[in-house]
């Protein structure tokens, strides 16, 4: 079987997350010098009539370069075999602990002035799969979506006026936590000690628009 076909069969049997393979190409003694020269760009390690190759999954010396090199041997009529000598699998990054949204809200409130009365916050979901259901769970906050992003913005009023109470915000975020909907929470604007006079509360403007 041609060398390039042998590699094709080996490649199909590799694990899905392979990052590098170690191959041993064995050729007839008479073809060892020529074979090493044709595989030269892959930096083979030669021992007698065996050529050991380390092929990364990505980069200039990856599978595409290997196929081109093996085709050169096939066209020269050099018979041989390819054996898989080892496989390196890609490392899985450690999972990062995700701060619960309810906890993020509690922590955010510790950063605002003690006399805060109104605030404007943003909840950025991490997955578009969660957007519709997340907005439903957060409906009591009357959230607004920011363009085509995954961000939902809402107002909160500490005692009275326009916006959900801090307790309601906490309960809505807890619902998202229960549904495993991760995201980032940020307070964008804070007002302190406001007093409503025949109004529902102060008007906040972001980018020239009332929110």
> Can you give 112-129 as a three-state secondary structure string?
CCCCEEEEEEEEEECCHH
Task: Give the Cα separation of 43 and 37 in Å (integer).
Answer: 10
For residue 103, the SS3 value is: helix
What integer is the mean pLDDT of 149-177?
A: 92
Topology alike, domains 3-89 and 101-196: yes
Which pLDDT score, from 0 to 100, does residue 193 have? 72
Domain boundaries, the chain: 3-89, 101-196
Cβ atoms of residues 148 and 117 within 8 Å: no
Q: In the structure, what pLDDT confidence band is assigned to residue 198 with cuts at 50, 70 and 90? A: very low
Tell me the fold of 101-196.
Alpha-Beta Plaits (3.30.70)
Tell me the fold of 3-89.
Alpha-Beta Plaits (3.30.70)
Helix locations, the chain, DSSP H: 3-12, 32-38, 63-75, 101-109, 131-137, 166-178
Which pLDDT score, from 0 to 100, does residue 183 have? 93
Residue 76, both tokens: 């020269």
Which pLDDT score, from 0 to 100, does residue 65 have? 93
């Amino acid at each position: 079987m041609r060398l390039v076909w042998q590699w094709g069969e080996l490649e199909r049997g590799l694990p899905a997350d392979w990052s590098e393979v170690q191959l041993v190409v064995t050729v007839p003694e008479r073809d060892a010098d020529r074979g090493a020269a044709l595989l030269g760009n892959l930096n083979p390690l030669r021992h007698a009539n065996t050529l050991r190759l380390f092929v990364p999954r990505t980069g200039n010396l990856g599978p595409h370069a290997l196929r081109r090199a093996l085709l050169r041997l096939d066209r020269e009529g050099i018979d041989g075999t390819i054996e898989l000598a080892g496989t390196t699998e890609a490392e899985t990054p450690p999972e990062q602990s995700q701060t619960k949204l309810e906890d993020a809200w509690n922590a955010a409130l510790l950063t605002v002035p003690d006399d805060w009365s109104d605030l404007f916050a943003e909840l950025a979901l991490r997955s578009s799969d969660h957007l519709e259901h997340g907005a439903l769970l957060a409906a009591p906050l009357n959230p607004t979506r920011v363009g085509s992003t995954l961000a939902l913005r809402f107002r909160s009023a500490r005692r009275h006026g326009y916006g959900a109470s801090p307790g309601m915000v906490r309960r809505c975020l807890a619902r998202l936590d229960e549904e495993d909907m991760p995201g980032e929470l940020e307070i964008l604007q804070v007002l302190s000690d406001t007093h409503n006079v025949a109004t529902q509360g102060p008007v906040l403007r972001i980018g020239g628009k009332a929110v």
